[in-house]
Structure 1
């Protein structure tokens, strides 16, 4: 029996996609997101620190690698199962947690759906890629 292992190329692709999707997502919802947060265009333009982008790359790397590792233990052997587990992880571990945290912070549900929704999409696509692009030792 072949042993499934973490596919680092698939993880790398997931990290890149995990940067592109939020960039597109927040460009689509930028006005609504800024309004719900109470930000002005000037505030957004003055925020030039690279730290959030670096944190995003590091975080996405850990998420993609961890999902890939979990997929070897389950094992996930198809893109459909990867899609479903990615959707489940994104919804349960990120979206629901974001909604609850934002409720306690008295933030609007629409903001939770914007911020958590992008994670659901990223996790789902990551799961799909990792489920489809497996590596065996």
Structure 2
């Protein structure tokens, strides 16, 4: 059952990412500096491989979250939500901020990406404790 919870958690984070970045596409493109064509879409498009790799990476994060939750005794929905949000807010977001700071990227990009990390990890944590 744990493997299914990891797949479901990764899927939840992945779908949330589609909605989140769909809603924030324009500010993200502006902040990231990605070059766009005349239609406003990133030049070169996005290959299906990017989305496949994104899901694999979500599986890795969800799998490690499951392991940490198991070691920590996190089993309730509330604890999963808070634990996941904490991982996103206090582990992943600072790392994104560090990379963006050294890359001299705008704070807006860090806020957008860190916000997604926090929300996606909270959702994954919630899903992990459903099983």
**Rounded Cα–Cα distance in structure 1 between residues aligned with 2:46 and 2:75:** 42
User: Does residue 66 of structure 2 align to residue 68 of structure 1?
Assistant: yes
1:35 aligned to 30, 33, 37, which one? 30
Q: CA RMSD in A?
A: 1.6
2:16 aligned to 15, 18, 21, which one? 21
User: Does residue 19 of structure 2 align to residue 12 of structure 1?
Assistant: no
Runs of 4+ in structure 1 over 4 Å off? none
Gaps of 5+ in 1: 1-5
Asked if the contact 2:12/2:127 (under 8 Å) is kept, the reply is no
- Matching of residues 1-137 of structure 1 within 5 Å: 7-42=2-37, 44=42, 46-131=44-129, 133-134=130-131
* TM-score, normalised via structure 2 length: 0.88
Q: Which moved more, 1:104-113 or 1:10-19?
A: 10-19
Gaps of 5+ in 2: none
The alignment of Structure 1 onto Structure 2 pairs a total of residues equal to 128
Which has more radius of gyration? Answer: 1
